[in-house]
Amino acid sequence: MIASHVLQVVVFMVLLLACAVPLSGYITRVMDGSARVVRFCGALERVLYRMAGVDPGAEMSWRSYALATLAFNVLGVLVLYGLLRLQGALPGNPQHLGAMSPDGAFNTAVSFVSNTNWQDYSPEQTVGYLAQMLGFTVQNFLSAATGIVVVIALIRGFARHTAQTLGNFWVDLTRVTLYVLLPLASLIAVLLIGQGVIQNFHAYQTVPTLQATHYLAAQPDAPGQPTLQAMTVTQQTLALGPVASQEAIKMLGTNGGGFFNANSAHPFENPTPFSNFLQMFAILLIPAALCLVFGRMIADRRQGVALLAVMTLLFAACVTGEIAAEQSGNPVFTALHVDQHASALQPGGNMEGKEARFGITQSGLFTVTTTAASCGAVNTLHDSLTPLGGLYPLLLMQLGEVVFGGVGSGLYGMLVFALLAVFVAGLMIGRTPEYVGKKIEAYEMKMVSLVVLLTPLLVLLATSLAVLTEAGRAGLGNPGPHGFSEILYAFSSAANNNGSAFGGLSVNTPFYNVLTAIAMWFGRFGTIVLVLALAGALAAKPRIGVTGGTLPTHGPLFVALLLGVVLLVGALTYVPALALGPGVEHLMLLAHGS
């Protein structure tokens, strides 16, 4: 990378980490009820609790917390499914878009409730304004809040001493939504509007084009045989809508999913380099802050800094590799002496599928940001990445999205790896493993093992089923290793609740709609139940003091150990699959280019 590209990445990381520090303090105060805004709005909270029949002073066991989480999100699936099936008869639909198919509505409802936002349809041609706002935008808030409150419950498990409760799900959910997500999303929405992201309720506008477009199209003749006929287009239909409000929370809540099919490559959704920077910043802001919230809540800030250091190092390594892979270009083009230089500021590389206004550096940074977090928003076509460029987003998802990760889900995934790391260290030195004052014993390690194995099981089983069945192979648009990468990417994205796609794979079929919905649901809520069970077990344990045999979990040694565990356990699970996909494709390109 040239100096200006390095500077862009450095400025992004410095601003992100600088803003994470004060935000972590604010989130901590909100969750313990000491923030001024909580005291000021106490009357409003009490009214909401009274309307819902909730006793805010009653704390929950891990089982009650998990049951409330599941019940709330099952209700969300039912409401969103109903909106999508009935939208043709509902107001707020100026284009008079009809009902989504049953399997498509089921997949979409599970997708948005699980914080995945997997979209196998064109939103501007399928979903009306009411469903976008009341369905998608609301779930973007609530699914993000769910992830945050689950990790807060896990942190309380570490912080509490011989306790049987983890807090109150309804209080936690209310406070996260009202005092954290809503004000931050409102601020980001205003900034995006200032950059040109649209926000209106107008019907779609048909405008004349600057010049006529002439092309040949296959049209059936009288006997029904296709014949080529000359066609001319002089108009274009511009899709409009309340975009900025949804864009802000989809990024801040690491939801992903676009108001438009082109997602953050669309000029109405991401018009300028600054809006591009702001969207990436919003994706990682809360995940970075939550690491420091962990340190604050357990009264040892060094622990949070250590986790943040591991995430930052992995993120920086992947950004460097991604940008380098894309700047190296296509070796086949190089062998054919094709000029891959985009401009004087873009010294060569793979510009296929990328927006010229962002270039390789901002596209590469966005690609890593959105797959390091469970966001899934894209500003470039991942199907057009080089094989090695496509390897990094795949790997980031398959690590469990613990490199910052989704709001809440990234941190509880990294904490699971931290427990695994101290267990490995305990085996090496012959002592019972401890982490932040809690002994890690058989039950905790069973929960950790199940969390680590659940998503790889979902990804690899679903990928195998798709490859082995006619219904799965029918969606392939590309043969060979690239087609396999598309299937592997789809289920890695679904089970890890990312939502981005390689493209090139036709997934809007009953087979893929049902199978990806199953992967999304169990990848999200199967993991959440296991994490809450782990939290309950930790809360019941006493906090023990540091002794001479305690492994320090805040220094460089533990950072290196945790890095190794994440890479070995997270990555090695998928090595055979990655070798069959991006690995083989990269070797094939090198062979053709030599």
Where does the pLDDT of residue 427 fall: very low under 50, low under 70, confident under 90, or very high at 90 and above? confident
First-residue to last-residue Cα distance in the chain: 24
165 neighbors 60 (Cβ within 8 angstroms)? yes
Domain that holds residue 513: 3-201+242-593
At residue 341, does pLDDT exceed 70?
A: no
**Residue 32 phi, psi dihedral angles, 5° rounding:** -95, 0
pLDDT of residue 288: 97
62 neighbors 327 (Cβ within 8 angstroms)? no
Average of pLDDT values for 288-308? 96
294 neighbors 415 (Cβ within 8 angstroms)? yes
> How many folded domains does the chain comprise?
1
Q: How far apart are CA 353 and CA 372, in angstroms?
A: 20
Query: DSSP label at 40?
Result: H
Q: How far apart are CA 354 and CA 378, in angstroms?
A: 10
CA 455 from centre of chain: 14
Where does the pLDDT of residue 505 fall: very low under 50, low under 70, confident under 90, or very high at 90 and above? confident
Helical pair 301-327 and 387-398, crossing angle rounded to 10 deg: 160
pLDDT of residue 168: 96
Q: How far apart are CA 441 and CA 166, in angstroms?
A: 20
Residue 530, CA distances (Å) to 142, 429, 522, 527 in order: 20, 28, 11, 5
Would you say residue 223 lies in a domain? no
Where does the pLDDT of residue 594 fall: very low under 50, low under 70, confident under 90, or very high at 90 and above? low
Tens digit of each residue's pLDDT (9 = 90 or more) over 110-145: 999 999 999 888 899 999 999 999 999 999 999 999
Whose structure tokens read 């009341």?
134
Tens digit of each residue's pLDDT (9 = 90 or more) over 149-164: 999 999 999 999 999 9
78 neighbors 113 (Cβ within 8 angstroms)? no
Average of pLDDT values for 8-15? 92
pLDDT of residue 120: 85
pLDDT of residue 471: 93
Provide the token pair at 301: 């800030």
Would you say residue 44 lies in a domain? yes
pLDDT of residue 403: 92
Would you say residue 52 lies in a domain? yes
Q: What is the pTM of this model?
A: 0.93
Where does the pLDDT of residue 372 fall: very low under 50, low under 70, confident under 90, or very high at 90 and above? very high
At residue 347, does pLDDT exceed 60?
A: no
Would you say residue 388 lies in a domain? yes
At residue 457, does pLDDT exceed 80?
A: yes
Average of pLDDT values for 201-217? 90
Q: Of 111-125, 463-477, 566-580, which range is least confident?
A: 566-580
Tens digit of each residue's pLDDT (9 = 90 or more) over 293-302: 999 999 999 9
SS3 156: helix
pLDDT of residue 84: 96
pLDDT of residue 251: 95
Residue 45, CA distances (Å) to 52, 65, 72, 176 in order: 11, 19, 18, 12
Average of pLDDT values for 13-35? 95
At residue 342, does pLDDT exceed 60?
A: no
- What is the maximum span of the chain, computed from C-alpha positions, in angstroms? 89
246 neighbors 139 (Cβ within 8 angstroms)? no
% pLDDT > 70, the chain: 96
pLDDT of residue 500: 87
CA dihedral 15, 17, 18, 21 (to 10 degrees): 150
At residue 542, does pLDDT exceed 80?
A: yes
Where does the pLDDT of residue 348 fall: very low under 50, low under 70, confident under 90, or very high at 90 and above? low
Where does the pLDDT of residue 7 fall: very low under 50, low under 70, confident under 90, or very high at 90 and above? confident
Torsion over CA: 584, 573, 390, 460 (sign): positive
580 neighbors 485 (Cβ within 8 angstroms)? no
Q: How far apart are CA 512 and CA 530, in angstroms?
A: 26
Q: What is the DSSP string of 14-28?
A: HHHHHHHHHHHHHHH
385 neighbors 395 (Cβ within 8 angstroms)? no
Residue 332: which of 587, 38, 2, 37 has the closest Cα? 587
Q: How far apart are CA 128 and CA 239, in angstroms?
A: 11
Looking from the CA of 504 toward its CB, the CA atoms found within 13 Å total 20
Would you say residue 544 lies in a domain? yes
Whose structure tokens read 């030195």?
429
Tens digit of each residue's pLDDT (9 = 90 or more) over 217-274: 877 776 767 788 888 999 999 999 999 999 999 999 999 888 898 899 999 999 999 9
At residue 387, does pLDDT exceed 90?
A: no
331 neighbors 590 (Cβ within 8 angstroms)? yes
Would you say residue 331 lies in a domain? yes
Would you say residue 222 lies in a domain? no
Would you say residue 220 lies in a domain? no
